[in-house]
Structure 1
Amino acid sequence: MLFSGAALAEKTKSISVIVHADNTTDTLTKKQLIDLYMGRYVAFPDNQSAQPVDTLTPEGLKSQFYKRLVNMPLSRVNAYWSRVKFTGRATPPSTQDSEQVLLNFIANNPNAIGYVFSDSLSLKDKQDVKVIMELYE
């Protein structure tokens, strides 16, 4: 099999799960993160309201996040949310247009939780947000 270097590098990037710097949550279990992103829980472990956020770009980030989190392709995650929304049991994560917009949103919203490629976090970003989990291939 042949892989392009760029495609392989993109596929193996770690994904950082981030919250506002002042959020009292320092870490989550994978199950807790799944429960937040799949609408089963609406709060962090300390009962502080949680607002999960997805991002549209860079391409592949959202699909890699869900593949690593719940081991499902994005099409199945979208089908899941279609069913759950229809029943009215939960609301899917809100969406931001890009990693930078998501970083700004989380830096200004203490209840927000999101994800970015780890190498996208600058020193300035790390002052405004806190990494609570890393997801690897």
Structure 2
Amino acid sequence: MNGTIVLKMLLLVGALNTVSLASTADQLVVVVHKDNPINELTRSQLIDLYMGKYVAFPDGRRAQPIDIDNDSKLKEQFYLELVGMPLNRVNAYWSRVRFSGNARPPIQQGNQQAALQFLATTDSAITYIFASNITDDVKVVYQFDE
């Protein structure tokens, strides 16, 4: 009987570790080009960049935010975690701002790989991806809490 309980506990611990690893791999992170001098951004700074208030990193260098256009689940998760707004409200916000001519929305890329390719050749670019897609060409500057 004790052997069965121990085996069940080991299986449970293994299952929990697998769930933990899977959720870490799907954690949302914000990345920049590996040579970008910025090492960390605050949530407030990200909001300013992604909502068009600022067009530069804190050091004054131009910033080019990238949105993942064809993955609405990822984009929705990003904006919910960043500003607490569903995608339809973010889109409505950008429609108003674009009409006023005061700011430009982030550049659209079709998927995470396209965004990473753009970022690899553009040191001013910044984007969000799942942690499982981090490459040697990028540097994580912000991690969302799980």
CA contact (8 A) 1:55 1:97 kept: yes
Gaps of 5+ in 1: 1-8
C-alpha distance in structure 1 between counterparts of 2:90 and 2:61, whole Å: 25
In the TM superposition, residue 135 of structure 1 has moved relative to its aligned partner by 1.3
8 Å Cα contact 2:64/2:126 also seen in 1: yes
Give unpaired runs (5+ residues) of structure 2: 1-21
Q: CA RMSD in A?
A: 1.6
Is 1:37 matched with 2:46?
A: no
Secondary structure, counterpart of 1:16 in structure 2: strand
- 1:132 aligned residue: 141
User: What TM-score results when the alignment is normalised by the length of structure 2?
Assistant: 0.80
More helix, by proportion: 2
Misfit runs of 4+, over 3 Å:
none
Give the fraction of aligned pairs with identical amino acids, expressed as a percent.
52
Task: Tell me the distance in 2 between the aligned counterparts of 1:136 and 1:102.
Answer: 22
TM-score by length of 1: 0.85
Count, aligned residues: 124
**Equivalent of 2:98, from 66, 69, 85?**
85
| 1:129 partner letter | V
User: Larger radius of gyration, structure 1 or 2?
Assistant: 2
